[in-house]
Amino acid sequence: KNQVEQSPQSLIILEGKNCTLQCNYTVSPFSNLRWYKQDTGRGPVSLTIMTFSENTKSNGRYTATLDADTKQSSLHITASQLSDSASYICVVSGAGTASKLTFGTGTRLQVTL
């Protein structure tokens, strides 16, 4: 069964600090992995999309890594800001007959003063 697991479930950090969110998946065959940011009450917004040939991708202060061999990804947030408080969702797309998107349950990040 295709699954995406994220850790931690929730995280509280001080403004200005860095943090790393984890995503492990079992989707096979693999096509691409996405990270989304979702503010409370709003639709998710795409941060990065990576295919199996990409190891690292950045979007401003967000850097995603992908290890397709171990089926792991991480999202690193640098110099956090209060506006980073949101849920971060890892989504994996399979290839061929497994082409549906499989969503993780997300990590809820709270950035405090």
Partner 1 sequence: KAGVTQTPRYLIKTRGQQVTLSCSPISGHRSVSWYQQTPGQGLQFLFEYFSETQRNKGNFPGRFSGRQFSNSRSEMNVSTLELGDSALYLCASSLASAGQGAYEQFFGPGTRLTVL
Site for partner 1 in 26-55 (CB under 8 A): 31-32, 34, 42-46, 49-51
CA 31 to chain centre: 15
In this structure, what token pair is assigned to residue 57?
A: 């991708």
**104 lies in the site for partner 1, by CB under 8 A:** yes
Q: Does 86 bind partner 1 (CB under 8 A)?
A: no
Applying CB under 8 A, does 61 fall inside the site for partner 1?
Answer: no
| C-beta atoms surrounding 21 within 10 Å | 23
If one asks whether residue 89 binds partner 1 (CB under 8 A), the answer comes out as: yes
Using the rule CB under 8 A, give the single segment among 11-19, 66-74, 78-86, 96-104 that binds partner 1.
Answer: 96-104
Applying CB under 8 A, does 60 fall inside the site for partner 1? no
Question: In the complex, what is the shortest distance from the CB of residue 61 to partner 1, in angstroms, rounded to a whole number?
Answer: 19
Angle at 71 between CA 68 and CA 74, to 5 degrees: 90
The answer to whether 77 and 65 are in contact (CB under 8 A) is no
Closest CB to partner 1 among 8 and 16?
A: 8
Residue 86 neighbours by CB distance under 10 Å: 20
Q: Do 59 and 65 form a contact (C-beta atoms < 8 A)?
A: no
Binding site for partner 1 (CB under 8 A): 31-32, 34, 42-46, 49-51, 89, 93-96, 99-106
